[in-house]
C-alpha cells in the first residue's frame, strides 16, 4: 500500500469513527492532536514553565492508556495523560492535559482538579503503585479570560493559621485567546501552531472565511504530500468544516485561497464528509437516518480493525491509529473470529 493510499485509508477511517460523539468535535480534534507524541512534546516545551521543562526527560515521554475522568468530571474535562521521567533520578510524573469543555471560566477549577488527581491516586493505591506527582494542565478556548489564582483565594476571611488546612497545589493554564497570532505563528513548530489557531478561531465563521489559509501554514521546505502532514490537515479540515457549518459554495470559495496541493486535501475531505453523511442539509441531498448512519459507521470501523489486524498490525497499534479502546478492538476481532 503506497503512502498516499495509507493517508486516504486513515482519513476514511477517521471520518467513519471520529463522530461517535458528534456533539463535541473540539474534544475529538484535541485528542487526535495531543495524543501525537511529537506535538505533545512541542506543546510541553513551549507551554510548561522552563524550570519544569528543564528537568523533564521529554524524549522518554509516553502516553498513559488509563482514563481517570469520572462521569461527573466528564461534564467539565476530557483528559490525555502522559508519563515522563523527571530529574536526575528519573522519578516518574504524570502530565495531564485537560480540555475544558465549557465555554466559560470554571468557578472552582481547583476543586474539580483535586477530584481528578484523587482518582489518579486512588488508581495507584488500588494497584499497589507508588503515588505520582500530577502536573495538571487546563487547555481552555472559551471567550472569557481565565485568571489563575491560588486555591486559598477562594476561601474568604481566613488568616495564616487556617491557611495550613487548605490543599496547596497549582495548575498550568493554556488560554489560547491570550496569545496573539504573531506569538502563535512564531512558535515555528508545525501542527502545534496550526492547532492553536484552530482552537482560537474555529468557531468564528467570519474570521475563518477571511483567513482560511492561516490555518494551513507550512514551512517552505515541507512536502505537503508527506502522509503525516496530509493526515493532520485532513483532521483540521474535518474540524473546521464541521464547527464552522459552511455550505458547499462557501467551502469552494474559501478553499481557493490555498496552495494547490492543500486545496486538493480540502476538497477531497469535504466530499468524503458529504459521502459519509457527516454534514447535514447540504447540496448532496437528504441526511442519512441516524440508525443507518450508525450501522454504516460500525461496519466501516469493524472492517478497518479486521483489515489492519490481518495485515499483521498489533492490537495496541490498531487502537492508537483508530482512536479506540484496546478492549473494544479485541471484542470486534473476537466477533469476526480473528481472535480467540
Q: For the chain, 340 residues long, give each residue's pLDDT as a single digit of tens.
A: 455 555 555 555 554 444 444 457 889 899 999 999 999 999 999 999 999 999 999 999 999 988 899 888 888 899 999 999 999 999 999 999 999 988 788 889 999 999 999 999 999 999 999 999 999 999 999 888 899 999 999 999 899 899 999 999 999 999 999 999 999 988 878 799 999 999 999 888 889 988 888 898 776 656 656 788 888 888 888 888 888 777 778 888 888 888 877 888 888 887 777 766 666 534 443 344 445 656 777 888 899 899 888 888 888 878 877 767 788 889 899 989 898 8
pTM over 0.85: no
Q: Based on the number of CB atoms within 10 Å of its own CB, is 46 exposed (0-12), middle (13-18) or buried (19 or more)?
A: middle
- Residue 99's pLDDT is 94
Q: Outline where 256-289 has alpha helix (H).
A: 260-275
Helices (H) and strands (E) in the chain, counts: 15, 5
CA angle 150/151/152 to nearest 5° reads 90
Q: What is the pLDDT of residue 289?
A: 46
Helical H runs in 88-218? 109-126, 160-163, 181-185, 192-201, 205-210
Q: Which residues pair with 4 in a beta bridge?
A: none
In three-state secondary structure terms, 124 is helix
Calpha distance 152→164 (Å, rounded): 10
DSSP code for 243: H
What is the enclosing helix (H) or strand (E) of 326? helix 326-335
pLDDT of the residue at 285: 39
Are 233 and 245 in contact, with CB atoms under 8 Å apart? no
Amino acid at each position: 500500500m503506497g503512502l498516499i493510499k495509507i493517508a486516504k485509508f486513515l482519513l476514511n477511517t477517521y471520518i467513519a469513527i471520529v463522530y461517535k460523539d458528534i456533539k463535541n468535535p473540539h474534544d475529538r480534534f484535541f485528542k487526535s492532536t495531543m495524543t501525537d507524541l511529537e506535538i505533545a512534546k512541542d506543546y510541553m516545551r513551549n507551554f510548561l514553565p522552563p524550570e519544569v521543562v528543564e528537568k523533564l526527560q521529554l524524549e522518554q515521554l509516553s502516553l498513559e492508556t488509563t482514563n481517570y475522568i469520572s462521569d461527573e468530571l466528564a461534564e467539565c474535562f476530557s483528559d490525555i495523560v502522559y508519563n515522563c521521567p523527571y530529574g536526575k533520578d528519573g522519578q516518574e510524573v504524570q502530565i495531564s492535559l485537560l480540555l475544558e469543555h465549557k465555554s466559560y471560566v470554571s468557578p472552582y477549577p481547583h476543586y474539580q482538579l483535586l477530584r481528578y488527581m484523587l482518582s489518579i491516586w486512588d488508581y495507584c493505591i488500588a494497584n499497589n503503585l507508588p503515588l505520582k506527582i500530577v502536573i495538571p494542565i487546563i487547555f481552555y478556548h472559551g471567550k472569557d479570560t481565565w485568571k489563575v489564582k491560588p486555591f486559598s483565594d477562594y476561601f474568604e476571611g481566613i488568616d495564616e493559621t487556617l491557611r495550613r488546612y487548605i490543599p496547596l497545589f497549582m495548575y498550568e493554564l493554556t488560554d489560547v485567546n491570550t496569545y496573539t497570532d504573531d506569538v502563535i505563528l512564531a512558535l515555528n513548530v508545525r501542527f502545534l501552531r496550526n492547532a492553536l489557531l484552530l482552537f482560537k478561531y474555529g468557531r468564528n465563521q467570519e474570521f475563518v472565511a477571511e483567513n482560511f489559509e492561516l490555518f494551513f501554514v507550512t514551512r517552505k521546505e515541507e512536502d505537503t504530500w508527506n502522509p503525516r502532514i496530509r493526515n493532520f490537515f485532513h483532521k483540521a479540515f474535518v474540524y473546521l468544516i464541521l464547527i464552522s457549518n459552511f455550505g458547499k459554495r462557501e467551502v469552494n470559495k474559501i478553499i481557493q485561497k490555498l496552495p494547490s496541493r492543500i486545496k486538493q486535501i480540502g476538497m477531497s475531505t469535504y466530499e468524503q464528509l458529504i459521502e459519509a453523511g457527516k454534514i447535514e442539509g447540504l447540496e448532496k441531498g437528504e441526511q442519512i437516518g441516524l440508525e443507518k448512519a450508525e450501522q454504516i459507521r460500525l461496519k466501516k470501523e469493524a472492517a478497518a480493525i479486521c483489515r489492519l489486524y490481518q495485515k499483521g498490525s498489533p492490537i495496541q497499534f490498531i487502537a492508537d491509529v483508530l482512536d479506540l479502546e484496546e478492549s473494544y478492538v479485541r471484542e470486534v476481532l473476537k466477533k469476526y473470529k480473528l481472535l480467540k
